Amino acid sequence: MISKKGSLNLSIQAIVILVMAMALLALGLGFIRTLFDTGGTKLIGEIDNINIMQATDSDPIQATNTVMVKIGKYEQLQVSVYNKDVTGTNPVYTVTPGSCVGSAGITISCPATITVPLGEARGFGCAVKTTSGSTVEGLYSCQLTVAPTTGNQLVGNFFVEATV
């Protein structure tokens, strides 16, 4: 007498393994897609900032064009300063965050000073924070002032886009 229970049991196990494999494949593909979507957005933003962030003799201060900040969170503003001062070799620049036009809820925190060697550019970051309850969603024009120990002060303009 031949029993066919073994072959039936084997085919059920094969179907279960196949279903589990397909489910794991779908989860893996979804994870990879999400990872590439967020990475692509960040990469495009960084590519846009590559040309912006190099201060030169003709344009001695550069800042990120637009900083997108969710209300209640913070993001980084990237700034680059070029030393074209001919009176000193390593002047210390004093960084003064300005205010944003039309918003009481946006604060900018930067390092107090930065040293830039003669004929070189140095970059630094500032934290841009929006306060919940005080900041209204929208686009705001902001300024940042960098003043050397001797010479003219430099003013950088940028935008802060507050989103929910």
Chosen domain end from 52, 69, 88: 52
The CATH number covering residue 71 comes to 2.60.40.10
Same structural domain for residues 61 and 44?
Answer: no
Same structural domain for residues 62 and 30?
Answer: no
Same structural domain for residues 31 and 99?
Answer: no
Same structural domain for residues 48 and 60?
Answer: no
Same structural domain for residues 155 and 103?
Answer: yes
Q: What is the pLDDT of residue 19?
A: 93
What total of structural domains would you count in the chain?
Answer: 2
Mind listing the pLDDT tens digit for each residue in 122-144?
888 889 888 887 778 888 898 88
Same structural domain for residues 78 and 90?
Answer: yes
Q: What is the pLDDT of residue 21?
A: 95
Same structural domain for residues 146 and 101?
Answer: yes
Phi and psi torsions of 132, nearest 5°: -65, 135
Q: What is the pLDDT of residue 40?
A: 74
Model pTM score: 0.62
The domain in which residue 29 lies consists of 1-52
Identify the segments of the chain with pLDDT beneath 50: none
CB under 8 Å to 47, separation ≥6 — which residues?
none
